[in-house]
Chains A and B, each alone.
Chain A
Amino acid sequence: MNAKAKPQTTDANLANAGAVPADNEAALVAAAKAGEISAFETLVSRYERKIYRLAQHITQNNEDAEDVSQEAFLKAFEHLGDFQGNSRFYTWLVRIAVNQALMKLRKRRNKDVSLDQEIETEENFIPREVEDWGPSPEERYTQEEMARILSEVIGELDPSFRLVFQLRDIDELSTEETAEALGISVPAVKSRLLRARLKLRDKLNRYFVRGMVK
């Protein structure tokens, strides 16, 4: 379900600034490791929107999301030497951004935000309403409206569920990568993912039930 090809966002000016072709990620990373800042800028331009959205979803705050994005990219550049290429560059970047966002969240809330606490997953949870959405419910809304709706409903989730859904279904990390990034077990990822999907389905129901007038 998660396999899909999306056009990558690149800034033509930045991409053209370096000698490395913008579509060759391994070469861009190698060039950035060698200190070629224009190559790193191309990587930033490619992922800035996704990293900002990730940070925004975790912190639920635009100012924090901006800070987290800056800090995550800076940290990534400073630690590029640690990136061994065993995972995708984006997966590695996401782990840095998640750590930065969680630190920001803890500071903002002035208390510990624990991800390894036992979460009540309610094994017997049954969705409240089950109604037909029709074939393409999202087409009833503009891209901006959909972005607002999705941001709103995911923001209503408990952070423990929101993070797992964000990494697993939006950023397309594997279950194992999600578990590693969040420092929780694979069964915990699976359990929270199921609950997050069901809760989001319930929340989207109010926008998507077939025949509903916007």
Chain B
Amino acid sequence: MNCRGVVRELSNYLDGGLDSELRQSLEIHLEHCEDCHLLVDTTKKTVQIFCNSDPLPLSDDVRSRLHDALLKRLGRPKD
């Protein structure tokens, strides 16, 4: 596999969707190509960072407006 092949298969590789022969071919390339090794590593980290990021809490105002609107429409007065 060459560098373009690594880019083409990168998502499938990160998602565990490559068959063993293709995965082995890609990993052999990574052992010898520092740029591709870093590309795979930093792309993997990119996905992990987004995937692991917890959404910030809603502000009290936003949360209050959301629940007030729902309770109003769903027919129950606010406690």
Interface residues in chain A, defined as those with a beta carbon under 8 Å from any beta carbon in chain B: 1-2, 4, 6, 9, 37, 40-41, 44, 48-50, 52-53, 66, 69-70, 73-74, 77, 123-127, 130-133, 137-138, 143-144, 146-147, 150, 154, 165, 169-170, 172, 190, 193-194, 197-198, 200-201, 204-205, 208
A205 CA to B10 CA, complexed, in Å: 18
| Cβ–Cβ < 8 Å partners of A165 in chain B | 50
Q: Give chain A's interface secondary structure class.
A: helix
| Cβ–Cβ < 8 Å partners of A133 in chain B | 41-42, 45
Number of interface residues of B (CB under 8 A): 43
Select B51's contact among A49, A154, A169, A190, beta carbons within 8 Å: A169
A124 CA to B3 CA, complexed, in Å: 10
| Cβ–Cβ < 8 Å partners of B4 in chain A | 124, 126
Rounded to whole Å, the gap between the CB of B53 and the closest CB of chain A is 6
| Cβ–Cβ < 8 Å partners of A69 in chain B | 66
B69 A70 Cβ-Cβ under 8 A? yes
| Cβ–Cβ < 8 Å partners of A41 in chain B | 67, 70-71
In the complex, whether B7 has a CB less than 8 A from a CB of chain A is: yes
In the complex, whether B14 has a CB less than 8 A from a CB of chain A is: yes
A131 B44 Cβ-Cβ under 8 A? no
Select B11's contact among A4, A73, A144, A190, beta carbons within 8 Å: A190
A130 B66 Cβ-Cβ under 8 A? no
Known contacts A131-B38, A194-B10, A4 near B43 by CB under 8 Å: no
